[in-house]
Chain A
Amino acid sequence: MTTGEILVIAASAAVFVIINIIMWTMISKKERKIRERTTPPHDINEKLSDGVMEAAAVEGFKLIENTVIVHTNERIIS
């Protein structure tokens, strides 16, 4: 094997390694972003504005049990 051939193989290997590093960095960044958006595994009980609950209370409506468990903070409806 000539020195030229060895250099070509080494260059190809280096390019391959660089492309892999870039690719995996991008993939892990994307996965981290998705995880950050979706991970909170704790219960999320969303509180309503006092005005709404006060209006409901006037109608004689009082919540006794109030459990809402979801596993993402992300909303489609804002």
Chain B
Amino acid sequence: MKYIAACDTDIGITKKINQDSVCVKTAKTSTGMAALVMVCDGMGGLSRGELASAEVVRSFAEWFDTEFPFELPDWDWQTAAHNVISRLRRLNAMLVHYGSHNNLQLGTTATGIIAVNSEYMTFHVGDSRIYKISDKLSQITDDHTYVNRAVKMGKMTPEEALSDPRRNALVQCIGVTGEVAPEIRLGNLENDVTYMVCSDGFRHVLTEKEIFDELSAKNTSTKKNMQSKMRQLIETVKNRAESDNITVALFRAEL
């Protein structure tokens, strides 16, 4: 079994600071392989978004290095899901507390994959996304945005949502509201399937066909290929005048 993973991030063409953070870790373990792939998009409209996204990514990265190896012998996905939700809630409370004491507003999305051997778990808060790229492109996370909720409740059509001025407004993110309800999903990894985690800045101006064509398994067979395809798409995004920071990570298992 082999895991292939890579990531790339870019400040973009407009912003003075990159508020996104990203983490890609894979490891050989006594029972096989493990990985953590995550993207956090610090809130553009909020001050110190880069600090919020960095804190969340560091927390998970440090967990992966220091606690996860000792959790592996008794690994259980239900417990893992519970622990991830607890960690995200603790981080949310910490950022809310820090913000209120320093008169700042910090916020970030938190979206990622934890994989152990042939199984995985996704965790998600906000409007970053995870896509599964197999023989088609499918979004496996739900956007925690006002317009997405309105569409689901039948109060807005998907077409109206695309042009609604509130399309970027989040109904939850880490660091802003008292409570967060992270979305957790469990699944099995498959051969020739690539998972993509990205910030909204990466996907806004790309079509699903473009993402699928460039990042399908045949084009991302090695880490080098992954890196060159991600950079190519990031340059396309910049050429199309996307104003946000741009971040993407890819992950694939060869079982």
Contact = CB atoms under 8 A, between A and B. Distances in A.
A complexed with B = yes
A71 B54 contact: yes
Given A52-B65, A59-B72, A72 B54 contact: yes
Interface stretch (A9-17, A18-26, A38-46): A38-46
A69 B58 contact: no
Interface in A30-71: 38-39, 41, 46, 48, 52-53, 55-56, 59-71
Contacts of A59: 29-30, 69-70, 72-73
A29 interface: no
Contact of B27 (A55, A62, A77): A62
B55 A77 contact: yes
A72 B65 contact: no
A63 B55 contact: no
Contacts of A67: 6-7, 22-25
B95 A76 contact: yes
B9 interface: yes
A8 B98 CA distance: 48
Contact of A60 (B23, B30, B66): B30
A34 B94 CA distance: 21
Nearest to B48: A38
B17 interface: yes
B5 A65 contact: yes
B21 interface: yes
A53 B65 CA distance: 7
A69 B69 contact: no
A53 to B, nearest CB: 7
B198 interface: no
B5 A69 contact: no
15 contacts: A38-B50, A59-B69, A59-B73, A61-B34, A63-B26, A64-B3, A65-B26, A68-B21, A68-B57, A69-B21, A69-B22, A70-B58, A71-B54, A76-B51, A77-B55
Interface of A: 38-39, 41, 46, 48, 52-53, 55-56, 59-72, 74-77
Interface of B: 3, 5-7, 9, 11, 17-31, 34-35, 48, 50-51, 53-55, 57-59, 61-62, 65-66, 68-70, 72-73, 94-95, 98, 223
Given A76-B95, A77-B55, A77-B58, 18 more contacts: A38-B48, A46-B61, A59-B70, A62-B27, A63-B25, A63-B65, A64-B3, A64-B26, A65-B5, A65-B35, A68-B23, A68-B58, A69-B21, A70-B50, A70-B58, A71-B21, A72-B54, A76-B98
